Structure formats: structure tokens, C-alpha cells
Structure 1
């Protein structure tokens, strides 16, 4: 799944309804007669995401994709789009064999209700969680949290190369730059502005003149609670 958190209701430039054979991409996206579709209002585990059951990791992202695949295989799928996301996918409610795919994936525990964008499937999620079906029989990260952490890890992995190309600590300090970059114990690359909590206690591993400069180097702003 690509950036599920980036859903928005952009105007459709194509027809709003379409019907045909379908192939599942993952647990909440598919292609229908060549149209790439993101299922409205739900969020399934990422393809590479794993859940934990009885202390053992298992590929719940692959399982969710397999469930959606079983629902559309050999069926004619009908979708009604509500808009497009920033990746151009038709954000849709789809049916196969008279069954609504969005609701079924949540009701059977293979996707969560995407509360950030719609409340439509919250009741289905509550019932699935109570019954401990699908991923609810496991411990897992919400897909949106998994994506965010994956993006942060990727940014952190790329940051050292950028820093080697453009050393900052000594030159920025000599220019009077005051934003402190630091590597947390968890491996996060964060920066602190003057006046923020822990600024004085923070040992600077890099100094920056602007937040944009810090972010370009792979750092994120410290969360103030």
C-alpha cells in the first residue's frame, strides 16, 4: 500500500463507476479493469507488515492481501469512486458477488476502520475486535503507524550519507546557527530549537541554521509534550 495516510477527495477526471475483473494489490487496494483503486474508509496491514501471535511473528499483511484476493477472484467487481487520492488512485466503495469489499475486510478482521478519513466502518471494527477475528487475534501496529515508522527509519538510514556530503556541525556552529541535531537512544534523528524543553541538556551532534536544513538532513522536530 502506498501512503494510505495521504487520502483525500480530489475531483475525479474519469468515470465515477466502473465494473470488471479485479486483482488485489494488498489488503485495501486493487486494480479493476486497469483502474488502480484504494478502498474507501479502511486501512489494512502493509504488504511487508507482520503481527505477533503467542510471541511469534506472522505475515498479517500478506494474509490480508490474500483475503482480498479470495473475495475478488473469479468475480465481477463493481466500484463507485468518491474521489482520487494524491497518487491518482480512485478511492472507492467496491462490491464483488453482492458483498461490499470495504465492509467485509473490516468485519472479518483483515483491515481497520480508517478513522482519520471516515467513520463508516468503526462499528464493524469494534465487532471484529470483540470477536478477536483476523488480525485482532494478534498484537499489531496500526497500519498508519507502521508506515510512519518505516518512513522515519528510511530517512534515518539516508541521513548519514547526506551528512557526509555536507558536514554541518563545525561550519554551522561557526556561523552562529543554534538548532541542535541529536540521535536519540531509539535511533531517531531529531532536532531541538532554542527554548524547547531539553535544549540546554541536548548534546549537539550537528548544528543547523534552519528547520528546513535540519529536515533536509533527515532530522525531525522533537515532540514537545
Structure 2
């Protein structure tokens, strides 16, 4: 009976994901067409700013760039640990013998997501002690940034200062390369979604952009993900 149960557990284990990877932000990527969220770590939001030597710097974008350097265009192996609320596969990933989850934390471009795992606490402590990445200055924990953004979204429009923009018909650019979706919520939020993000397929595009810079210039902010 014990042998049967062990065999059943073995065969129930999810299969690893192998393939060429493309980075999304600092803790998410797409591997062989599957959306993956790096398990146990939390990187700054894409538009999040940190401070270093008294000046702001784009730690969210640099975290995304760092993950891109590690994985984009390379063969990556991801061992699934579950699925998150957005349907992404949670996984520990590696490429060319490099543990991607650990490396992002050790370089200071992500923190240990203690709510879900303590596996990367020692890597975080090493980054903090050596003042690497975000630890070279000050920053808000990514989870706090998301929580504050969600709280702002829940406030009624009368309590928020909304952008005043002239009314105009939705602009949709018809191009295969221009696939960043801009969407305007009933609360007055202007949010854009890039391919591979949660809810991208369900999002109705009121405007399409060819780059994130174009979307931000038009007054949109990047959708927040966990």
C-alpha cells in the first residue's frame, strides 16, 4: 500500500516546464508560451521608484532588465510549485546552472516573499548586508506598493483627483507590433496591459500602443500584478 501511495504521489507531481524564456517584469516570465511567476520572491513593480544617494531611480525597470539578462532568449527549466490567483504557474526556475529565483534576490532586485516561503531569506540578508540593488538605498516593499494602489482604486472618484483629459474617440492602432492594451476603468483609472500579463486576453483595448513609453506618455500606468 505504501509503495502504491508513493508511486501515485510521484506521478501526480507536475511536469517541469522547459523552453525559451522571455522576461515580463522582475519576477514573472513566459516559458514555452506558459506564464510563470517566480515562487517565493517579490520584485518591485515595473513603475516603482526607489531612492539611492538621495535620488530616485527606476528600481522596477532595472529589476525587469536584470531578469531579462538572466533568462530572455535562453533555455529555462521551471519546476512548478502551484498556481497563483491569476492563473500563472508558480515555479523555481533555472538556466545554465543558475538559480533564477535566488539570483534575483541575491542581487538585490527582489526580496524574499516571506508570506509564502522563507527559502530566500538568506539571499536577501546577503544582499542587504552588501547593499546590493535596492538595498543600496531605501525602498518600499513591493507588496506595500500594490496594497496602496489597490486602496486608492477602491476609493470613490469623489475622493480622488482624476486626470482631466479632453473627451476623444478611442484610438486604436492597427498593427501586429502594437499590442499593448490601454483600458479606462469606471473609476477613472487609465491602465495598460502588456502581452503575458494576467487578464490581458480579457481586457478590452480602448487604445493600442507600440511601446510602454507611448502608453505612459498618453497617461496610462502599468497594471499591477502580484
Normalising by structure 2, what TM-score? Answer: 0.63
- 2:122 corresponds to 1:132: no
How many matched pairs? 149
Q: Give the alignment of 1:134-213 within 5 angstroms.
A: 134-156=133-155, 158=157, 160=159
Partner of 1:70: 69
Q: Do the aligned partners of 2:22 and 2:73 also contact (CA within 8 Å) in 1?
A: no
Cα distance in 2, alignment partners of residues 25 and 15 from structure 1: 23
- The change in CA–CA distance for 1:157 and 1:134 in structure 2 (over 3 A counts) is farther
Residues 16 and 82 in structure 1, CA contact (< 8 A), matched pair in contact too? no
Cα deviation for residue 74 of structure 1 reads 3.2
Aligned-pair distance for 1:159?
Answer: 5.6
Q: Tell me how large the CA RMSD over aligned residues is.
A: 1.8
Contact 1:21 1:33 in 2 (8 A): yes
Match of 2:104 in 1: 105
Structure 1 segments (4+ residues) deviating >4 Å = none
TM-aligned CA distance change 1:154 to 1:14, over 3 Å: farther
- Decide whether aligned partners of structure 1 residues 129 and 151 sit closer, same or farther in structure 2, where only a CA change above 3 A counts: same
Quote how far apart the aligned CAs of 1:54 are: 2.1
1:135-161 deviations in Å (ceiling 9; x for gaps): 110210000001001111222253659
Measured in 2, the distance between the counterparts of 1:100 and 1:133 equals 18
Query: Within 2, Cα distance between the matches of 1:96 and 1:71?
Result: 8
- Distance in 2 (alpha carbons) for counterparts of 1:147 and 1:14: 32
> Does the 8 A contact of 2:21 with 2:31 survive in 1?
yes
After superposition, the C-alpha distances for 1:85-136 in whole angstroms (9 at most, x for unaligned) are 1111000000011101000000111100000110000001001000000111
Query: Based on CA coordinates, which of the two structures has the bigger radius of gyration?
Result: 1
TM-score after normalising by structure 1: 0.63
